[in-house]
Structure 1
Amino acid sequence: MVDAIQRKALRIALRALNCTPGALLEEEAGVLPLYLHRKQQSLNFWARAKSRHGSNPVNKLVGTGTFIKGKILKR
């Protein structure tokens, strides 16, 4: 559903026709597809949490990275 909203917003912003493919709209606007953006945000979160050494309570959840890797591999 969020993908459809993004495509609709890009069509309006770029003044494109309804038949224009979503991938072409994303390329023209210079934005990442939402699934790649979510993956990037997850990896950034994991890297930030791991860089805090033991001081971040999220490290207990993240551990060796299997928490985030499991989320990414489900796609």
Structure 2
Amino acid sequence: MGWASASRIFDPVAQALIDAGASDELKTRVLGKLISQLQNEDWDTEDESLEDFRHDPAIVAAFAANDVTLD
């Protein structure tokens, strides 16, 4: 069984980085590691978070580095 509520962890962190004006490099590095860790805990709705942040190329890149892409 997957872990759908991991988005409640990922989404606020991603939004906080955006709000703080974090560089693309920092967003990709930090969120890439977070995505990987959440996937290790069986996060199964990462595509929904990707959809929410599809406007941010750095976040899209973090997901892509963890094999999550928009179809």
TM-score by length of 2: 0.34
Query: In terms of Rg, which structure is larger?
Result: 1
Q: Which structure exhibits the higher relative contact order, with contacts defined as CA atoms closer than 8 Å and separated by 6 or more residues?
A: 2
TM-score by length of 1: 0.33
